[in-house]
């Protein structure tokens, strides 16, 4: 149904998969779930890192999980973008930077702050740390990974703050849908309400 609704438009179908929101399931299940999402029309897939492995600093297992999910998304004939959620509220500053480096070295196209399911979601502090890590990786390798802030961003002022962080640290070339996104379901409703002058709950 969603596919029919967006067919012929520039809109894309995004699905969470891979054991969202905690990623605490068998690797085979994660890969199968992603493959099924793609088979059913997903153009983009949002996955969550293996938090347990990250907290144990088992970086090889984190990479293995990520590779299995990304490979499952790419096995179709279509190009499917994968966004990797690192769940910043559960990571230390050092772990956030390490995860940004690991995701940047993978075939993922976006690093996303959070699921919004674990207390504190996106924070400006986490955004700064992530954007600095993304910039450093881009300067070293030329690969420019996208940044997505998600969770708790519900006002125009908060959205503008994340926009400013990206503009200041990563530059104007990141201010496109291909490299910068905001998780905006509640934000969209609030913006529409301000524009229309009445409460709107479209999303």
Contact 189, 200 (CB under 8 A): yes
Is 144 annotated in the active site?
A: no
Contact 39, 74 (CB under 8 A): no
Compute the Cα dihedral for 59, 23, 64, 141 and give only its sign. negative
Compute the Cα dihedral for 83, 85, 86, 89 and give only its sign. positive
Is 148 annotated in the active site?
A: yes
Residue 75 DSSP code: T
Q: Which is the catalytic residue, given 81, 96, 112, 144?
A: 112
Contact 50, 60 (CB under 8 A): no
Contact 182, 148 (CB under 8 A): yes
Q: Which is the catalytic residue, given 46, 65, 96, 144?
A: 46
Is 112 annotated in the active site?
A: yes
Catalytic residue numbers read 46, 112, 148
């Amino acid at each position: 149904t969603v596919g029919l609704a967006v067919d012929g438009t520039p809109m894309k179908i995004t699905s969470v998969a891979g054991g969202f929101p905690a990623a605490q399931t068998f690797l085979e299940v994660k890969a199968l779930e992603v493959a099924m999402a793609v088979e059913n029309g997903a153009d983009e897939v949002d996955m969550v890192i293996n938090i347990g492995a990250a907290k144990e600093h088992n970086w090889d297992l984190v990479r293995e999980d990520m590779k299995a999910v990304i490979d499952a998304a790419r096995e179709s004939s279509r190009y499917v973008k994968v966004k990797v959620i690192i769940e910043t509220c559960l990571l230390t500053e050092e772990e956030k930077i390490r995860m940004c480096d690991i995701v940047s070295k993978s075939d993922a196209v976006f690093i996303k702050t959070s699921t919004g399911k674990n207390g504190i979601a996106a924070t400006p502090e986490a955004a700064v740390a992530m954007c600095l890590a993304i910039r450093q990786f881009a300067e070293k390798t030329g690969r420019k990974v996208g940044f997505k802030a998600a969770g708790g961003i519900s006002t125009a002022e908060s959205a503008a703050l994340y926009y400013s962080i990206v503009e200041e640290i990563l530059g104007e070339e990141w201010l496109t849908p291909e490299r910068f996104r905001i998780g905006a379901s509640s934000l969209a409703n609030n913006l529409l309400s301000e524009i229309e002058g009445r409460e709107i709950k479209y999303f």
